[in-house]
Amino acid sequence: MSELSSKCVIIGGGPAGYTAAVYASRANLSPVLFEGMQPGGQLTTTTEVENFPGFPSGIQGGELVSEMRSQAEKFGARIVTDVVTSVDFSKRPFTLTVGDGSEVKADTVIIATGAAARYLGLPDEQKYMGLGVSACATCDGFFYRKKRVAVVGGGDTACEEALYLSGLASKVYMIVRKDYLRASQVMQARLKDRDNIEILFNCNTTGLFGDEVLQGAHLVEFKGTDRERHFDIDIDGFFLAIGHTPNTDLFRGQLELNPEGYINVASPSTQTSVDGVFAAGDVADPIYQQAVNAAGSGCRAAIDAERFLNV
């Protein structure tokens, strides 16, 4: 790519990035969006999205982000399937380096890099990655038809994963470290309708086992108490659904981050600690992490960028 300059560069696809591109395009900012090598964000790992306004019958996650992308292109956004490897926010125009080594100059930058699934940190997770361990039930659930699987977590995401897998697998365990689910009442009610889902409360995973592929998990119940009990479950699949880590390594030392690594913004705006740099979506949202909220913040980031340039 030859050297490029733009009034507005957007880093990351997904609902936040594509929505920002729609609004920035309509504001005549001629945005350039770097969507990475796996565009679409977390919605591409989701099946049916039921809670995005305008789709009363639901819509497939991949289809939703594809439509957002097409809409951004329709209004003139330039979308590049490449990664940004480094940034320099010390002076304007800002300098971004992309995967092929070329540099991009930007008057404003909108960061929409999202967040990545979190793992337990067990050595066995890497050992059995792709051989039974997954962080995406939608991606890999098909391979576990009529088999036994486990989902780690007790929030809405874990419940959604368990519900999806219950339609494929013969048995679904939910491994929950607390004595209750954090999920919404709606999600908990849905779990009760699935006879093949069993919730293991007060349990932690201590390891995984299997010869060449995953065959089971070592669990401990009531860890650290006089009721502590160790036992195993036989499973073919182990799915992580315990939260996310923001994709902000690229911006450490450049922007202020909170203790969890999310980008700090001057709410209610999307302004970061550097004037002219804005953040939208899950990368700056440790609380809500919903597609509709990400899209809304993408809209706000584009408006913030436009107003910054027009001051």
Show which residues are catalytic.
136, 139-140
* Residues 130 and 38: beta-carbon distance below 8 Å: no
Residue appearing with tokens 């036992």: 231
Select from 114, 78, 77, 64 the least CA-distant residue to 248. Answer: 114
> Under 8 Å CB-to-CB from 108, ≥6 apart: which residues?
7, 8, 9, 29, 94, 276, 277, 278, 305, 308, 309
CA Rg value for the chain: 21
User: Which tokens in the block code for residue 91?
Assistant: 């002076």
Q: Is 119 helix (H, G, I), strand (E, B) or coil?
A: coil
Q: Is 157 helix (H, G, I), strand (E, B) or coil?
A: helix
CA–CA distances in Å: residue 72 to residues 38, 142, 166: 17, 32, 36
User: Which tokens in the block code for residue 297?
Assistant: 């913040």
Select from 275, 307, 296, 281 the least CA-distant residue to 111. Answer: 281
* Residues 155 and 182: beta-carbon distance below 8 Å: yes
Select from 257, 301, 268 the least CA-distant residue to 112. Answer: 301
* Residues 188 and 106: beta-carbon distance below 8 Å: no
CA–CA distances in Å: residue 290 to residues 135, 229, 284: 18, 37, 12
